[in-house]
Structure 1
Amino acid sequence: MMKGNLVTFFTQQSRTFEGISLAKWIVEEARKLGVGGATLMTGQEGFGHDGRFHSDSYFDLEDQPLQVSMALTFKEYENLMVRLEESHICVFYTKSEIEFGFTSEH
C-alpha cells in the first residue's frame, strides 16, 4: 500500500498545447515523469467556471469535456505540478489524499 494523491484535471477537446490536446499532453508528460498510469476520459456534457456549456454533440465535438485522472505518489504529484508550472499551463484540477496499491501480486 502507498499513500499519495488522486489528481483529476478538467479541460476540453478544443484546448491544445504544443499541437495536441491539453489532456493528451498531460497524459504524455505524466508518462515521461514515470507515473504508473493515467486515464483520459471523455464527458458527455458539462459547463466550466466561465459558465460555457460543453458537450460531445455532433455540432460541438471540439469542445467535448475531457478529464485526466491519476493516482500519484506525493513526489510524482510535485513533479507533475512543477512541469505544468514550467510550461505556463493553467488548468483546473482536484486533488484528494488517498491510499493505493494492488489487491494481489500482478
Structure 2
Amino acid sequence: MTQGIYLKLFVPEQLRLHGNLLYEWVLKQAEAIGIPGGSAVRALASFGRDGRLHEQHFFELAGELPIILEFFASDETLNQLLALLAAENQSLFYIKFNAEAGQIKPK
C-alpha cells in the first residue's frame, strides 16, 4: 500500500487553454511532471455555487457540465500541478485529501 494525496479537480468541459480543452491540457501537464496516472470523467448532472442544476440532455450542444479530473500522487507533485494552473490564471475548484492506494492481485 502507498500513502499519497488524492486530488479531484472540477473543470468546465468547454474551457480552453492554449488551443486545447483545459482538461486535456491538465492531463498532459500532469504526465509531464511525473504524476503516474490521471482520469477525466464527464459528470451526468451537477450544481454549484450558482445553485442551478445542470443536466445532460440528448440534444444539448453547449456543454455546461464539469469534467472531473482525478489524480493520486505525492503532495509536492500535486502542488506543482496546482501551481501550473495558478500560473495560467485558472480559477478552478478542487478537493485534496490524504489517501492510500493499493492493488488486489489474484493468488
Please confirm whether the aligned pair reaches a TM-score higher than 0.5, indicating the same fold. yes
1:49 pairs with 2:22: no
Once the two structures are superposed, residues 54-104 of structure 1 have per-residue CA deviations (whole angstroms, 9 ceiling, x without a partner) of 232222542132100111112211211221121111100011101224345
| Aligned residue in 1 for 2:19 | 19
Comparing 34-43 with 93-102, greater Cα deviation is found at 93-102
TM-score using structure 1 length: 0.84
Q: Secondary structure at the match of 2:81?
A: helix
Given that residues 10 and 67 in structure 1 are in contact (C-alpha distance below 8 angstroms), is that contact kept between their aligned partners in structure 2?
Answer: yes
Given that residues 16 and 22 in structure 1 are in contact (C-alpha distance below 8 angstroms), is that contact kept between their aligned partners in structure 2?
Answer: yes
1:10 pairs with 2:7: no
RMSD: 1.7
The Cα shift of 1:11 comes to 2.2
5+ long unaligned stretches in structure 2: none
Superposed counterparts of 1:1-106, under 5 Å: 1-57=1-57, 58-103=59-104
Q: Distance in 2 between matches of 1:3 and 1:70?
A: 13
Percent identity of paired positions between Structure 1 and Structure 2: 22
Q: Secondary structure at the match of 1:34?
A: coil
Q: Secondary structure at the match of 2:5?
A: strand
Letter in 2 for 1:45: A
TM-score using structure 2 length: 0.83
**How many residues in Structure 1 have an aligned counterpart in Structure 2?**
104
Letter in 1 for 2:8: T
Q: Secondary structure at the match of 1:49?
A: coil
5+ long unaligned stretches in structure 1: none
Greater share of helix: 1
Letter in 1 for 2:49: H
